[in-house]
Structure 1
Protein backbone atom coordinates (compact mmCIF):
# COMPACT_ATOMS: atom_id res chain seq x y z
CA UNK A 1 0.00 0.00 0.00
CA UNK A 2 1.57 3.29 -1.11
CA UNK A 3 2.39 5.85 1.57
CA UNK A 4 0.02 8.42 0.05
CA UNK A 5 -2.92 6.02 -0.37
CA UNK A 6 -6.12 7.21 1.30
CA UNK A 7 -7.57 4.34 3.33
CA UNK A 8 -11.34 4.02 3.67
CA UNK A 9 -11.69 1.98 6.85
CA UNK A 10 -15.28 1.06 6.01
CA UNK A 11 -13.87 -1.15 3.25
CA UNK A 12 -12.00 -3.22 5.81
CA UNK A 13 -14.48 -3.62 8.67
CA UNK A 14 -15.14 -7.23 9.73
CA UNK A 15 -18.90 -7.47 10.05
CA UNK A 16 -18.90 -11.13 11.13
CA UNK A 17 -17.46 -10.14 14.52
CA UNK A 18 -18.83 -7.77 17.18
CA UNK A 19 -17.87 -4.08 16.78
CA UNK A 20 -15.23 -3.17 15.93
CA UNK A 21 -12.37 -4.81 14.04
CA UNK A 22 -10.69 -3.63 10.84
CA UNK A 23 -8.30 -5.79 8.80
CA UNK A 24 -6.13 -4.06 6.19
CA UNK A 25 -4.06 -6.41 3.98
CA UNK A 26 -0.71 -5.23 2.59
CA UNK A 27 -0.65 -2.21 4.91
CA UNK A 28 3.12 -2.13 4.40
CA UNK A 29 5.23 -3.17 1.40
CA UNK A 30 7.62 -6.12 1.22
CA UNK A 31 10.54 -3.67 1.33
CA UNK A 32 9.16 -2.08 4.50
CA UNK A 33 8.65 -5.53 6.02
CA UNK A 34 12.28 -6.48 5.33
CA UNK A 35 13.54 -3.20 6.80
CA UNK A 36 11.43 -3.59 9.94
CA UNK A 37 12.55 -7.22 10.34
CA UNK A 38 16.18 -6.12 10.14
CA UNK A 39 15.65 -3.32 12.65
CA UNK A 40 14.04 -5.72 15.14
CA UNK A 41 17.00 -8.09 15.04
CA UNK A 42 19.56 -5.29 14.95
CA UNK A 43 18.23 -3.98 18.28
CA UNK A 44 20.65 -4.33 21.24
CA UNK A 45 20.36 -7.65 23.06
CA UNK A 46 19.34 -5.95 26.36
CA UNK A 47 16.14 -4.75 24.63
CA UNK A 48 14.88 -8.34 24.56
CA UNK A 49 12.85 -9.65 27.49
CA UNK A 50 12.26 -13.39 27.62
CA UNK A 51 8.86 -14.61 28.82
CA UNK A 52 7.73 -18.19 29.40
CA UNK A 53 6.85 -18.92 25.78
CA UNK A 54 8.23 -16.02 23.71
CA UNK A 55 10.43 -12.95 23.87
CA UNK A 56 9.69 -9.27 23.27
CA UNK A 57 11.03 -5.74 23.04
CA UNK A 58 9.42 -2.75 24.77
CA UNK A 59 9.67 0.67 23.10
CA UNK A 60 8.38 4.08 24.19
CA UNK A 61 8.44 3.44 27.93
CA UNK A 62 7.11 0.95 30.45
CA UNK A 63 3.33 1.34 31.04
CA UNK A 64 2.42 1.50 34.72
CA UNK A 65 -0.80 2.41 36.60
CA UNK A 66 0.94 5.49 38.00
CA UNK A 67 1.95 6.58 34.54
CA UNK A 68 4.57 5.85 31.88
CA UNK A 69 7.96 7.52 31.79
CA UNK A 70 8.24 8.18 28.08
CA UNK A 71 11.35 7.15 26.18
CA UNK A 72 12.24 8.33 22.69
CA UNK A 73 10.68 6.15 20.00
CA UNK A 74 13.19 5.02 17.36
CA UNK A 75 12.49 6.33 13.88
CA UNK A 76 11.97 2.85 12.42
CA UNK A 77 8.92 2.47 14.69
CA UNK A 78 7.89 6.13 14.86
CA UNK A 79 7.21 6.10 11.12
CA UNK A 80 4.45 3.54 11.63
CA UNK A 81 3.06 5.20 14.75
CA UNK A 82 2.58 8.28 12.56
CA UNK A 83 1.11 6.27 9.68
CA UNK A 84 -1.46 4.60 11.93
CA UNK A 85 -2.31 7.93 13.59
CA UNK A 86 -3.38 9.22 10.16
CA UNK A 87 -6.17 6.64 10.11
CA UNK A 88 -7.92 8.61 12.87
CA UNK A 89 -8.69 5.63 15.11
CA UNK A 90 -6.73 7.25 17.95
CA UNK A 91 -8.63 10.52 17.29
CA UNK A 92 -5.98 13.27 17.37
CA UNK A 93 -3.45 11.16 19.26
CA UNK A 94 -0.27 9.51 17.97
CA UNK A 95 0.65 6.07 19.38
CA UNK A 96 3.50 6.32 21.87
CA UNK A 97 4.14 2.68 22.81
CA UNK A 98 5.16 -0.40 20.82
CA UNK A 99 5.61 -4.00 21.90
CA UNK A 100 7.64 -6.11 19.50
CA UNK A 101 6.77 -9.77 20.07
CA UNK A 102 8.60 -12.70 18.51
CA UNK A 103 6.51 -15.85 18.07
CA UNK A 104 8.22 -19.08 17.00
CA UNK A 105 6.12 -21.91 15.51
CA UNK A 106 4.04 -23.41 18.32
CA UNK A 107 4.16 -20.27 20.48
CA UNK A 108 1.09 -18.17 21.27
CA UNK A 109 -0.51 -16.14 24.03
CA UNK A 110 -3.37 -17.04 26.38
CA UNK A 111 -6.73 -15.25 25.93
CA UNK A 112 -6.60 -11.84 27.60
CA UNK A 113 -7.59 -8.18 27.38
CA UNK A 114 -5.07 -5.37 27.04
CA UNK A 115 -6.46 -3.57 30.07
CA UNK A 116 -7.05 0.03 31.17
CA UNK A 117 -3.49 1.39 30.83
CA UNK A 118 -4.03 2.02 27.12
CA UNK A 119 -6.38 4.10 25.00
CA UNK A 120 -9.05 1.55 23.95
CA UNK A 121 -7.62 0.84 20.51
CA UNK A 122 -4.88 -1.64 19.65
CA UNK A 123 -3.18 -1.78 16.26
CA UNK A 124 -1.02 -4.66 15.16
CA UNK A 125 1.31 -5.16 12.17
CA UNK A 126 2.39 -8.72 11.30
CA UNK A 127 5.84 -9.49 9.86
CA UNK A 128 7.28 -12.74 8.51
CA UNK A 129 4.63 -15.40 9.04
CA UNK A 130 0.88 -15.63 9.31
CA UNK A 131 -0.92 -16.32 12.58
CA UNK A 132 -4.51 -16.59 13.77
CA UNK A 133 -6.03 -14.27 16.36
CA UNK A 134 -8.93 -15.92 18.21
CA UNK A 135 -11.70 -14.09 20.08
CA UNK A 136 -13.81 -15.24 23.04
CA UNK A 137 -16.72 -14.08 25.14
CA UNK A 138 -15.73 -13.07 28.65
CA UNK A 139 -17.74 -14.84 31.36
CA UNK A 140 -18.29 -11.55 33.14
CA UNK A 141 -16.96 -8.02 33.06
CA UNK A 142 -16.96 -8.15 36.87
CA UNK A 143 -13.33 -7.81 37.96
CA UNK A 144 -14.01 -10.15 40.90
CA UNK A 145 -14.42 -13.00 38.40
CA UNK A 146 -11.22 -12.33 36.49
CA UNK A 147 -7.64 -12.70 37.67
CA UNK A 148 -4.86 -10.77 35.98
CA UNK A 149 -1.08 -11.08 36.16
CA UNK A 150 -0.79 -7.32 35.84
CA UNK A 151 2.16 -7.91 33.53
CA UNK A 152 1.71 -5.12 30.98
CA UNK A 153 4.77 -6.28 29.07
CA UNK A 154 2.99 -9.57 28.46
CA UNK A 155 0.13 -7.73 26.69
CA UNK A 156 -2.15 -8.39 29.66
CA UNK A 157 -3.28 -11.83 30.74
CA UNK A 158 -6.75 -12.63 32.04
CA UNK A 159 -7.97 -16.06 33.01
CA UNK A 160 -11.64 -16.72 33.72
CA UNK A 161 -12.58 -18.39 37.00
CA UNK A 162 -16.34 -18.09 37.24
CA UNK A 163 -18.49 -21.20 36.79
CA UNK A 164 -21.98 -21.56 35.30
CA UNK A 165 -23.74 -23.30 38.19
CA UNK A 166 -21.68 -26.42 38.88
CA UNK A 167 -20.27 -26.62 35.35
CA UNK A 168 -17.20 -24.68 34.24
CA UNK A 169 -17.74 -22.80 30.97
CA UNK A 170 -15.03 -23.96 28.61
CA UNK A 171 -12.95 -21.68 26.43
CA UNK A 172 -14.25 -23.48 23.35
CA UNK A 173 -17.85 -22.66 24.32
CA UNK A 174 -16.95 -18.97 24.49
CA UNK A 175 -15.17 -18.87 21.12
CA UNK A 176 -16.79 -16.43 18.66
CA UNK A 177 -14.43 -16.30 15.69
CA UNK A 178 -10.95 -15.60 14.39
CA UNK A 179 -8.92 -13.25 12.22
CA UNK A 180 -6.20 -14.59 9.93
CA UNK A 181 -3.17 -12.32 10.28
CA UNK A 182 -1.16 -12.40 7.07
CA UNK A 183 2.31 -10.85 6.70
CA UNK A 184 2.30 -7.07 6.15
CA UNK A 185 -1.30 -6.73 7.35
CA UNK A 186 -2.68 -4.32 9.94
CA UNK A 187 -5.48 -5.27 12.33
CA UNK A 188 -7.26 -2.65 14.44
CA UNK A 189 -9.29 -3.72 17.49
CA UNK A 190 -11.43 -1.16 19.28
CA UNK A 191 -14.72 -0.39 21.03
CA UNK A 192 -16.54 -3.48 22.37
CA UNK A 193 -13.99 -5.88 20.94
CA UNK A 194 -11.21 -4.15 22.84
CA UNK A 195 -13.00 -3.70 26.15
CA UNK A 196 -15.32 -6.70 26.56
CA UNK A 197 -13.87 -9.65 24.65
CA UNK A 198 -10.76 -11.77 25.13
CA UNK A 199 -8.24 -12.37 22.35
CA UNK A 200 -5.43 -14.90 22.12
CA UNK A 201 -3.23 -17.00 19.83
CA UNK A 202 -3.22 -20.79 20.09
CA UNK A 203 0.06 -22.64 20.72
CA UNK A 204 0.04 -24.53 17.41
CA UNK A 205 2.47 -25.01 14.53
CA UNK A 206 -0.10 -25.02 11.72
CA UNK A 207 -3.57 -23.67 11.05
CA UNK A 208 -6.56 -24.98 9.10
CA UNK A 209 -8.17 -22.19 7.09
CA UNK A 210 -11.91 -22.21 7.81
CA UNK A 211 -15.14 -20.22 7.65
CA UNK A 212 -14.72 -18.99 11.25
CA UNK A 213 -12.03 -16.58 9.99
CA UNK A 214 -14.01 -13.37 9.64
CA UNK A 215 -11.58 -11.74 7.20
CA UNK A 216 -11.15 -14.63 4.77
CA UNK A 217 -12.51 -12.48 1.92
CA UNK A 218 -9.68 -9.97 2.46
CA UNK A 219 -6.85 -12.54 2.41
CA UNK A 220 -5.09 -14.73 -0.15
CA UNK A 221 -5.92 -17.89 1.82
CA UNK A 222 -8.18 -20.65 0.54
CA UNK A 223 -10.74 -22.31 2.81
CA UNK A 224 -9.67 -25.84 3.73
CA UNK A 225 -5.94 -25.36 3.15
CA UNK A 226 -3.42 -25.96 5.93
CA UNK A 227 -0.75 -23.35 6.58
CA UNK A 228 2.46 -23.93 8.53
CA UNK A 229 3.51 -21.17 10.92
CA UNK A 230 7.04 -19.79 10.77
CA UNK A 231 8.68 -17.12 12.92
CA UNK A 232 6.35 -14.13 13.24
CA UNK A 233 7.13 -10.64 14.50
CA UNK A 234 4.17 -8.73 15.91
CA UNK A 235 4.30 -4.94 16.25
CA UNK A 236 1.63 -4.01 18.80
CA UNK A 237 1.20 -0.25 18.55
CA UNK A 238 -0.84 1.61 21.19
CA UNK A 239 -1.31 4.92 22.96
CA UNK A 240 -0.66 5.29 26.70
CA UNK A 241 -2.67 8.31 27.91
CA UNK A 242 -0.98 8.71 31.29
CA UNK A 243 2.62 9.85 30.79
CA UNK A 244 4.80 11.23 33.60
CA UNK A 245 7.66 13.69 33.30
CA UNK A 246 9.49 12.45 36.39
CA UNK A 247 10.54 8.99 37.51
CA UNK A 248 8.26 7.06 39.83
CA UNK A 249 9.03 4.66 42.65
CA UNK A 250 7.55 1.24 41.89
CA UNK A 251 7.95 -0.08 45.43
CA UNK A 252 10.63 -1.06 47.91
Structure 2
Protein backbone atom coordinates (compact mmCIF):
# COMPACT_ATOMS: atom_id res chain seq x y z
CA UNK A 1 0.00 0.00 0.00
CA UNK A 2 2.58 2.57 1.12
CA UNK A 3 -0.12 5.24 1.58
CA UNK A 4 -1.14 4.82 5.21
CA UNK A 5 -2.30 7.99 6.85
CA UNK A 6 0.03 7.30 9.76
CA UNK A 7 3.74 7.01 10.29
CA UNK A 8 6.14 6.04 13.02
CA UNK A 9 8.25 9.20 13.44
CA UNK A 10 11.76 9.18 14.84
CA UNK A 11 12.19 10.64 18.31
CA UNK A 12 8.47 10.61 19.16
CA UNK A 13 8.54 7.86 21.81
CA UNK A 14 8.27 10.37 24.65
CA UNK A 15 5.22 12.11 23.14
CA UNK A 16 1.75 10.69 23.82
CA UNK A 17 -0.65 10.33 20.89
CA UNK A 18 -3.89 8.36 20.31
CA UNK A 19 -2.19 6.37 17.53
CA UNK A 20 0.11 3.39 17.96
CA UNK A 21 2.57 1.81 15.53
CA UNK A 22 2.42 -1.96 16.18
CA UNK A 23 5.04 -4.32 14.72
CA UNK A 24 4.86 -8.13 14.48
CA UNK A 25 1.14 -7.73 13.97
CA UNK A 26 -1.01 -7.99 10.82
CA UNK A 27 -2.31 -10.29 8.05
CA UNK A 28 1.21 -11.38 7.11
CA UNK A 29 1.51 -13.09 10.52
CA UNK A 30 -2.01 -14.52 10.41
CA UNK A 31 -3.95 -11.73 12.18
CA UNK A 32 -6.90 -9.94 10.60
CA UNK A 33 -7.55 -6.26 11.24
CA UNK A 34 -10.76 -7.19 13.07
CA UNK A 35 -8.86 -9.52 15.43
CA UNK A 36 -6.34 -6.78 16.16
CA UNK A 37 -9.10 -4.25 16.87
CA UNK A 38 -10.79 -6.72 19.22
CA UNK A 39 -7.59 -7.22 21.22
CA UNK A 40 -6.82 -3.51 21.51
CA UNK A 41 -10.38 -2.36 22.29
CA UNK A 42 -9.93 -3.69 25.83
CA UNK A 43 -8.03 -0.48 26.56
CA UNK A 44 -10.57 1.93 25.08
CA UNK A 45 -12.51 2.85 21.96
CA UNK A 46 -10.60 1.92 18.78
CA UNK A 47 -11.36 4.21 15.84
CA UNK A 48 -9.62 2.01 13.31
CA UNK A 49 -6.77 -0.35 12.47
CA UNK A 50 -4.76 0.47 9.34
CA UNK A 51 -1.81 -1.07 7.45
CA UNK A 52 1.36 0.81 8.32
CA UNK A 53 3.18 -0.23 5.15
CA UNK A 54 3.28 -2.94 2.47
CA UNK A 55 4.83 -5.60 4.71
CA UNK A 56 1.53 -6.84 6.14
CA UNK A 57 3.28 -7.28 9.50
CA UNK A 58 2.90 -3.75 10.89
CA UNK A 59 -0.28 -1.82 11.62
CA UNK A 60 -1.50 1.43 13.12
CA UNK A 61 -4.07 1.22 15.91
CA UNK A 62 -5.95 4.49 16.32
CA UNK A 63 -7.81 5.25 19.56
CA UNK A 64 -10.32 8.01 20.29
CA UNK A 65 -8.43 8.92 23.50
CA UNK A 66 -4.72 9.37 24.17
CA UNK A 67 -5.07 7.63 27.54
CA UNK A 68 -6.36 4.45 25.90
CA UNK A 69 -3.40 4.34 23.55
CA UNK A 70 -0.92 4.79 26.37
CA UNK A 71 -2.58 2.07 28.46
CA UNK A 72 -2.26 -0.33 25.55
CA UNK A 73 1.33 0.70 24.96
CA UNK A 74 2.25 0.07 28.60
CA UNK A 75 0.45 -3.28 28.80
CA UNK A 76 1.43 -4.81 25.45
CA UNK A 77 4.78 -3.42 24.28
CA UNK A 78 7.36 -6.21 24.46
CA UNK A 79 4.90 -8.65 25.97
CA UNK A 80 3.08 -11.71 24.71
CA UNK A 81 -0.53 -10.95 23.77
CA UNK A 82 -2.76 -13.96 24.47
CA UNK A 83 -5.61 -12.48 22.39
CA UNK A 84 -3.33 -12.42 19.33
CA UNK A 85 -1.97 -15.94 19.45
CA UNK A 86 0.71 -15.16 22.00
CA UNK A 87 2.65 -12.86 19.68
CA UNK A 88 5.15 -10.47 21.24
CA UNK A 89 4.23 -6.98 20.03
CA UNK A 90 6.58 -4.04 19.53
CA UNK A 91 4.72 -0.75 19.92
CA UNK A 92 5.59 2.94 19.57
CA UNK A 93 3.63 6.18 19.37
CA UNK A 94 2.60 7.38 15.92
CA UNK A 95 1.32 10.64 14.48
CA UNK A 96 -1.19 11.55 11.78
CA UNK A 97 0.29 12.56 8.45
CA UNK A 98 -0.87 15.78 6.78
CA UNK A 99 -3.97 15.22 4.59
CA UNK A 100 -1.96 16.14 1.48
CA UNK A 101 -0.04 12.89 1.85
CA UNK A 102 -3.17 10.74 1.86
CA UNK A 103 -3.70 9.06 -1.51
CA UNK A 104 -7.29 8.82 -2.68
CA UNK A 105 -8.80 5.36 -2.81
CA UNK A 106 -11.83 3.67 -4.25
CA UNK A 107 -14.12 1.13 -2.61
CA UNK A 108 -13.36 -2.43 -3.73
CA UNK A 109 -16.30 -4.52 -4.97
CA UNK A 110 -16.52 -8.26 -4.47
CA UNK A 111 -19.18 -8.95 -7.11
CA UNK A 112 -19.62 -7.70 -10.69
CA UNK A 113 -23.17 -6.61 -9.80
CA UNK A 114 -21.68 -4.14 -7.31
CA UNK A 115 -19.27 -2.81 -9.94
CA UNK A 116 -22.07 -1.57 -12.19
CA UNK A 117 -20.08 -1.43 -15.45
CA UNK A 118 -21.97 -2.83 -18.47
CA UNK A 119 -20.18 -5.78 -20.03
CA UNK A 120 -17.90 -6.68 -17.12
CA UNK A 121 -18.59 -10.00 -15.41
CA UNK A 122 -16.71 -12.07 -12.84
CA UNK A 123 -17.20 -15.75 -12.07
CA UNK A 124 -15.62 -17.09 -8.89
CA UNK A 125 -14.12 -20.60 -8.79
CA UNK A 126 -14.13 -20.91 -12.56
CA UNK A 127 -11.55 -23.67 -12.17
CA UNK A 128 -10.85 -26.06 -9.30
CA UNK A 129 -7.67 -26.06 -7.21
CA UNK A 130 -6.58 -29.20 -9.05
CA UNK A 131 -7.12 -27.55 -12.44
CA UNK A 132 -5.24 -24.50 -11.21
CA UNK A 133 -2.24 -26.62 -10.24
CA UNK A 134 -2.30 -28.40 -13.60
CA UNK A 135 -2.41 -25.12 -15.55
CA UNK A 136 0.47 -23.64 -13.55
CA UNK A 137 2.54 -26.80 -14.00
CA UNK A 138 1.86 -26.73 -17.75
CA UNK A 139 3.14 -23.18 -18.28
CA UNK A 140 6.05 -23.65 -15.88
CA UNK A 141 7.15 -26.53 -18.07
CA UNK A 142 7.40 -24.19 -21.06
CA UNK A 143 9.81 -21.30 -21.78
CA UNK A 144 8.99 -17.82 -20.53
CA UNK A 145 9.86 -14.53 -22.22
CA UNK A 146 11.13 -11.87 -19.81
CA UNK A 147 9.83 -8.30 -20.00
CA UNK A 148 11.03 -5.45 -17.80
CA UNK A 149 8.94 -6.42 -14.76
CA UNK A 150 7.16 -9.67 -15.56
CA UNK A 151 7.34 -12.84 -17.68
CA UNK A 152 5.00 -13.78 -20.52
CA UNK A 153 4.10 -16.62 -22.86
CA UNK A 154 2.15 -16.19 -26.12
CA UNK A 155 0.08 -18.81 -27.90
CA UNK A 156 -1.85 -18.66 -31.18
CA UNK A 157 -0.30 -15.32 -32.13
CA UNK A 158 2.56 -13.46 -30.52
CA UNK A 159 1.85 -9.90 -29.49
CA UNK A 160 4.45 -7.69 -31.17
CA UNK A 161 5.22 -5.03 -28.59
CA UNK A 162 7.21 -2.83 -30.96
CA UNK A 163 4.50 -2.85 -33.65
CA UNK A 164 1.68 -2.78 -31.07
CA UNK A 165 -0.16 -5.47 -33.01
CA UNK A 166 -0.09 -9.12 -34.02
CA UNK A 167 1.13 -10.45 -37.33
CA UNK A 168 -1.83 -12.47 -38.62
CA UNK A 169 0.41 -14.09 -41.23
CA UNK A 170 2.60 -15.71 -38.59
CA UNK A 171 0.35 -17.91 -36.52
CA UNK A 172 2.15 -19.88 -33.81
CA UNK A 173 -0.32 -22.72 -34.07
CA UNK A 174 -3.46 -23.74 -32.21
CA UNK A 175 -3.92 -22.89 -28.56
CA UNK A 176 -2.21 -25.49 -26.35
CA UNK A 177 -4.12 -28.63 -25.40
CA UNK A 178 -3.88 -27.90 -21.67
CA UNK A 179 -6.35 -24.99 -22.00
CA UNK A 180 -8.99 -27.05 -23.85
CA UNK A 181 -11.09 -27.55 -20.68
CA UNK A 182 -11.02 -23.79 -20.10
CA UNK A 183 -12.18 -23.06 -23.64
CA UNK A 184 -15.07 -25.48 -23.20
CA UNK A 185 -16.17 -23.72 -20.01
CA UNK A 186 -15.84 -20.32 -21.68
CA UNK A 187 -18.26 -21.37 -24.41
CA UNK A 188 -20.87 -21.84 -21.68
CA UNK A 189 -20.16 -18.52 -19.95
CA UNK A 190 -23.60 -17.30 -18.76
CA UNK A 191 -23.28 -13.69 -19.93
CA UNK A 192 -22.47 -14.41 -23.57
CA UNK A 193 -25.20 -13.90 -26.16
CA UNK A 194 -25.80 -16.94 -28.37
CA UNK A 195 -25.10 -14.89 -31.47
CA UNK A 196 -21.63 -13.87 -30.26
CA UNK A 197 -18.57 -15.63 -31.60
CA UNK A 198 -16.60 -17.16 -28.73
CA UNK A 199 -13.91 -18.68 -30.93
CA UNK A 200 -10.66 -17.56 -29.29
CA UNK A 201 -7.30 -17.85 -31.03
CA UNK A 202 -4.82 -15.87 -28.95
CA UNK A 203 -3.59 -16.49 -25.40
CA UNK A 204 -1.17 -14.44 -23.33
CA UNK A 205 0.05 -15.83 -20.03
CA UNK A 206 1.44 -13.21 -17.65
CA UNK A 207 3.36 -13.90 -14.46
CA UNK A 208 3.36 -11.01 -12.00
CA UNK A 209 5.85 -10.99 -9.10
CA UNK A 210 4.80 -9.23 -5.85
CA UNK A 211 4.15 -5.53 -6.28
CA UNK A 212 3.93 -5.58 -10.08
CA UNK A 213 0.74 -4.50 -11.82
CA UNK A 214 -0.39 -2.90 -15.08
CA UNK A 215 -0.75 0.71 -16.14
CA UNK A 216 -4.27 1.91 -17.13
CA UNK A 217 -5.03 0.75 -20.68
CA UNK A 218 -7.65 -0.50 -23.12
CA UNK A 219 -6.72 -3.53 -25.21
CA UNK A 220 -6.24 -2.10 -28.69
CA UNK A 221 -9.56 -2.09 -30.61
CA UNK A 222 -7.99 -2.72 -34.00
CA UNK A 223 -6.11 -5.79 -32.75
CA UNK A 224 -8.67 -7.79 -30.78
CA UNK A 225 -12.40 -8.52 -30.94
CA UNK A 226 -14.94 -7.59 -28.29
CA UNK A 227 -14.71 -10.50 -25.83
CA UNK A 228 -11.67 -10.71 -23.57
CA UNK A 229 -11.42 -13.37 -20.85
CA UNK A 230 -8.85 -13.28 -18.06
CA UNK A 231 -8.32 -16.15 -15.62
CA UNK A 232 -6.49 -15.34 -12.36
CA UNK A 233 -4.33 -18.08 -10.82
CA UNK A 234 -1.98 -18.50 -7.85
CA UNK A 235 -2.52 -15.10 -6.24
CA UNK A 236 -5.18 -12.39 -5.80
CA UNK A 237 -5.20 -8.74 -6.81
CA UNK A 238 -7.59 -5.87 -7.30
CA UNK A 239 -8.40 -4.47 -10.73
CA UNK A 240 -9.43 -0.86 -11.14
CA UNK A 241 -11.52 0.47 -14.04
CA UNK A 242 -11.41 4.07 -15.24
CA UNK A 243 -13.79 5.87 -17.57
CA UNK A 244 -12.12 9.08 -18.71
CA UNK A 245 -14.27 12.15 -19.29
CA UNK A 246 -12.74 12.90 -22.70
CA UNK A 247 -10.99 9.68 -23.63
CA UNK A 248 -9.94 10.52 -27.19
CA UNK A 249 -7.38 7.98 -28.38
CA UNK A 250 -3.99 9.45 -29.25
CA UNK A 251 -1.14 7.67 -31.06
CA UNK A 252 1.29 8.95 -28.42
CA UNK A 253 -0.72 7.17 -25.75
CA UNK A 254 0.20 3.70 -27.01
CA UNK A 255 2.52 2.11 -24.48
CA UNK A 256 5.47 -0.19 -25.00
CA UNK A 257 3.18 -3.08 -24.11
CA UNK A 258 1.04 -2.36 -27.15
CA UNK A 259 -2.01 -1.27 -25.21
CA UNK A 260 -3.86 2.00 -25.55
CA UNK A 261 -2.85 4.03 -22.51
CA UNK A 262 -4.58 7.29 -21.65
CA UNK A 263 -2.35 10.35 -21.82
CA UNK A 264 -2.66 11.81 -18.28
CA UNK A 265 -1.78 15.30 -19.51
CA UNK A 266 -4.61 15.16 -22.02
CA UNK A 267 -7.33 13.91 -19.69
CA UNK A 268 -7.10 13.95 -15.90
CA UNK A 269 -10.78 13.54 -14.99
CA UNK A 270 -12.16 10.01 -14.73
CA UNK A 271 -14.66 7.78 -12.94
CA UNK A 272 -13.17 4.91 -10.93
CA UNK A 273 -14.45 1.47 -9.97
CA UNK A 274 -12.54 -1.44 -8.47
CA UNK A 275 -13.11 -5.18 -8.00
CA UNK A 276 -11.27 -7.96 -6.16
CA UNK A 277 -10.03 -10.84 -8.33
CA UNK A 278 -9.49 -13.96 -6.22
CA UNK A 279 -7.47 -16.92 -7.49
CA UNK A 280 -9.33 -19.23 -9.90
CA UNK A 281 -11.79 -16.49 -10.95
CA UNK A 282 -12.59 -15.63 -14.57
CA UNK A 283 -13.16 -12.04 -15.67
CA UNK A 284 -15.00 -11.16 -18.88
CA UNK A 285 -14.55 -7.76 -20.53
CA UNK A 286 -17.18 -7.07 -23.18
CA UNK A 287 -19.22 -4.20 -24.57
CA UNK A 288 -18.75 -0.86 -22.84
CA UNK A 289 -16.47 -2.36 -20.19
CA UNK A 290 -14.08 -3.68 -22.84
CA UNK A 291 -14.18 -0.76 -25.30
CA UNK A 292 -14.58 2.36 -23.13
CA UNK A 293 -13.13 1.61 -19.69
CA UNK A 294 -9.40 1.44 -19.03
CA UNK A 295 -8.40 -1.39 -16.71
CA UNK A 296 -5.52 -1.16 -14.30
CA UNK A 297 -3.80 -3.32 -11.68
CA UNK A 298 -2.22 -1.14 -8.94
CA UNK A 299 1.44 -1.79 -8.25
CA UNK A 300 0.87 -3.03 -4.70
CA UNK A 301 2.15 -5.92 -2.63
CA UNK A 302 -0.86 -5.62 -0.32
CA UNK A 303 -4.45 -4.68 -1.24
CA UNK A 304 -7.10 -3.29 1.10
CA UNK A 305 -10.39 -5.10 0.52
CA UNK A 306 -13.32 -4.22 2.80
CA UNK A 307 -11.01 -3.26 5.70
CA UNK A 308 -8.98 -6.44 5.24
CA UNK A 309 -5.38 -6.31 4.13
CA UNK A 310 -4.68 -9.06 1.56
CA UNK A 311 -1.17 -9.93 0.42
CA UNK A 312 -0.79 -10.82 -3.25
CA UNK A 313 1.48 -13.80 -2.67
CA UNK A 314 4.73 -14.83 -4.31
CA UNK A 315 3.25 -14.71 -7.82
CA UNK A 316 0.05 -14.13 -9.74
CA UNK A 317 -0.44 -15.79 -13.14
CA UNK A 318 -3.14 -14.67 -15.57
CA UNK A 319 -4.39 -16.43 -18.68
CA UNK A 320 -5.89 -13.84 -21.07
CA UNK A 321 -7.85 -15.25 -24.01
CA UNK A 322 -8.72 -13.08 -27.03
CA UNK A 323 -9.69 -13.30 -30.69
CA UNK A 324 -7.55 -11.50 -33.26
CA UNK A 325 -9.58 -9.03 -35.30
CA UNK A 326 -9.74 -9.54 -39.06
CA UNK A 327 -11.60 -6.32 -40.02
CA UNK A 328 -11.55 -2.77 -38.61
CA UNK A 329 -13.41 -2.18 -35.36
CA UNK A 330 -16.83 -0.57 -35.70
CA UNK A 331 -17.70 -0.34 -31.99
CA UNK A 332 -20.08 2.21 -30.47
CA UNK A 333 -17.25 4.07 -28.74
CA UNK A 334 -15.35 5.86 -31.54
CA UNK A 335 -13.68 8.29 -29.11
CA UNK A 336 -11.69 5.35 -27.73
CA UNK A 337 -11.29 3.46 -31.02
CA UNK A 338 -8.09 3.58 -33.08
CA UNK A 339 -9.84 1.93 -36.08
CA UNK A 340 -12.26 4.85 -36.26
CA UNK A 341 -9.59 7.52 -35.83
TM over 0.5: yes
- The answer to whether the Cα contact below 8 Å between 2:232 and 2:277 also exists between their aligned partners in 1 is yes
CA contact (8 A) 2:238 2:297 kept: yes
Aligned equivalents of 1:49, 1:98: Cα separation in 2: 14
Q: Deviations over 1:173-193 (max 9, x none)?
A: 525111101011111111111
Distance in 2 separating the partners of 1:111 and 1:65: 21
**Quick check: 1:137–1:174 contact (8 Å CA) kept in 2?**
yes
Q: Could you tell me which residue of structure 2 aligns to residue 93 of structure 1?
A: 198
The question of 1:21 aligning with 2:104 is answered no
- What stretches of structure 1 of length at least 5 have no aligned partner? 1-11, 210-222, 244-252
Superposition RMSD on alpha carbons, in Å? 2.3
Q: Give the match for residue 16 of structure 2.
A: none
Superposition TM-score, scaled by structure 2 size: 0.56
Partner of 1:158: helix, strand, or coil?
Answer: coil
Does 2:230 correspond to 1:124?
yes
Distance in 1 between residues matched to 2:137 and 2:179, nearest whole Å: 12
Q: CA 1:107–1:68 in structure 2 vs 1: closer, same or farther (change >3 Å)?
A: farther
Matched residue, 2:295:
199
Q: Which runs of 4+ in 1 moved over 6 A?
A: none
| Number of residues of Structure 1 aligned to a counterpart in Structure 2 | 206
CA 1:240 to 1:145, structure 2 compared with 1: closer, same or farther past 3 Å?
closer
Counterpart check, 1:135 vs 2:219: no
Decide which moves more: 132-141 or 60-69.
Answer: 60-69
Which protein, 1 or 2, shows the higher relative CO under an 8 Å CA cutoff with sep ≥ 6? 1
Where structure 2 has 5 or more consecutive residues not aligned to the other structure, the ranges are: 1-110, 160-164, 328-341
**Corresponding residue to 2:261 among 149, 158, 162:** 158
Separation in structure 1 between the aligned mates of residue 169 and residue 274 of structure 2, nearest angstrom: 32
CA 1:68–1:124 in structure 2 vs 1: closer, same or farther (change >3 Å)?
farther
